Amino acid sequence: MATAKVGDKVKIHYTGKLDDGTVFDSSSGRDPLGFELGAGAVIPGFDTAVTGMCSGESKTVRIEAEEAYGPRRDDMVMEVSRDEMPADMELEVGMQLQASPPGAPPVLLTVVSLDEETVTLDGNHPLAGQALTFDIELTEIEDSGPSIIMP
């Protein structure tokens, strides 16, 4: 039976949970998630977990923060003056904003606190610093073809 390898296109069903059991994402009730193994479309630990699985196989895997969304970084939290925000924007804690730094890809920022004069924004991914547990079922492997080994 074929096993999933780097370069294969796979389809999986999954449920992702935090250490306290909270489900943060799931493909339940949706089409399976499709991606190419090793192409960087999913977090590194997820690629590693699916590699070597057979179609129809299920497993549960815990992925440490370093192989998920990385550690939380204090340098990604910044306090800005309210004057730097659009005047017509009604800010709320938990609100997500997108910033486009010059010459860099857009960054998602979360408002974590605010007062009359300042707004504190967090550029960390919401799951940064957390280990994640996934229940994974590999539903399909599209073989990338034979590997050519050159001497």
Segment 110-150, tens digit of pLDDT: 999 999 999 999 999 999 999 999 999 999 998 665 555 55
Q: Which residue ranges in the chain fall short of pLDDT 70? A: 143-151
Q: What pLDDT score does 144 carry?
A: 61
Q: What is the CATH number of the domain that holds 96?
A: 2.40.10.330
pLDDT for 97 equals 93
Nearest in space to 68 (alpha carbons), one of 123, 17, 11, 12? 17
> How many domains does the chain fold into?
2
Are 16 and 66 found together in one domain?
Answer: yes
User: What is the rounded CA–CA span in Å between residue 50 and residue 12?
Assistant: 9
Q: What is the pLDDT of residue 151?
A: 55
- The span from the CA of 47 to the CA of 37, in Å, is 6
Q: Would you say residue 106 lies in a domain?
A: yes
Domain, as residue range, for 54? 9-70+127-142
